[in-house]
Amino acid sequence: MDLFDKIQETDRKSMLKCINAYARQYTRGDYIRYPREADSLIGIIEEGNLQMAAEDLWGNRSLISILQRGAVFGETFACARKENYVLSYQALSDCRILFMDYSRVFHTCSLACSFHHRMIENIVKIIAEKNLEFIKKIDVVSKLHLREKILTYLSQCARSSGTATFTVPLGRLKMAEYLCVDRSALSRELSNMSRDGLISYEGNRFTLHIPDQV
């Protein structure tokens, strides 16, 4: 896991005790309910994956990201101490979540444990990488037309995979939620794009037909 990168295995037991870590199990479909001290906790997915979504006052949700094993969540709000923006985390499979005390993670203890500085470096890197993912989503949803949204998203996937043929990580429903569009409209536009020779696809496997550069 990226959070524990370059931390010796022999140090991990002491580290987990130092940062006041504890684990909880969740089953598929469960929401990760934070206790009252939510703004002081950081979570890391030891097993399974989560859906992170934003919620408005009416309970409508907008998919932000799918978090896989090893992903850290809650760190932004723990650092910023913001409580008026509602995010929900739902288990997409059976999960095991390790919770850690924010103050213990970001502030070295009186014992000056050698792993603390490394952990802080790791979590800063994780936050930076997550910010890049959010920038990618902004780039997608800021497009005015559905076809532009789809092409931007597929282009990002192609760049990440390093090839014009790739598998997207989202099914149609989740893709529609991520793009903030209707699922039926997404399916129709994908069909139209295939007819127009822009893409070909089978299930979640896509190929971009990019014209040769002159």
- DSSP per-residue codes, 70-125: T-EESHHHHHHT--SS-EEEEESS-EEEEEEEHHHHHS--TT--THHHHHHHHHHH
Q: Are 90 and 53 in contact (CB under 8 A)?
A: yes
Q: Are 7 and 44 in contact (CB under 8 A)?
A: no
- Quick one: 76 exposed, middle or buried, by C-beta within 10 A (0-12, 13-18, 19+)? middle
Q: Are 69 and 45 in contact (CB under 8 A)?
A: yes
Average pLDDT, whole number, for the chain? 84
| pLDDT at residue number 35 | 47
Using DSSP's 3-state secondary structure scheme, residue 23 falls into strand
List alpha helices for the chain, DSSP H.
9-18, 75-80, 102-106, 115-141, 146-161, 172-179, 183-195
- Give the pLDDT confidence of 153-197 residue by residue, as tens digits: 999 999 999 999 999 989 999 999 999 999 999 999 999 999 999
Using DSSP's 3-state secondary structure scheme, residue 143 falls into coil
Q: Select from 179, 170, 173, 28 the least CA-distant residue to 90.
A: 28
CA angle 160/162/164 to nearest 5° reads 105
> What mean pLDDT do residues 33-50 have?
75
Higher pLDDT, 6 or 163: 163
Q: Percentage of the chain surpassing pLDDT 90?
A: 45
Give kind and range of the element (H or E) at residue 56. Answer: none
Lowest mean pLDDT among 3-17, 87-101, 166-180: 3-17
| pLDDT at residue number 105 | 74
Instruction: Count other C-beta atoms under 10 Å from residue 32's C-beta.
Output: 21
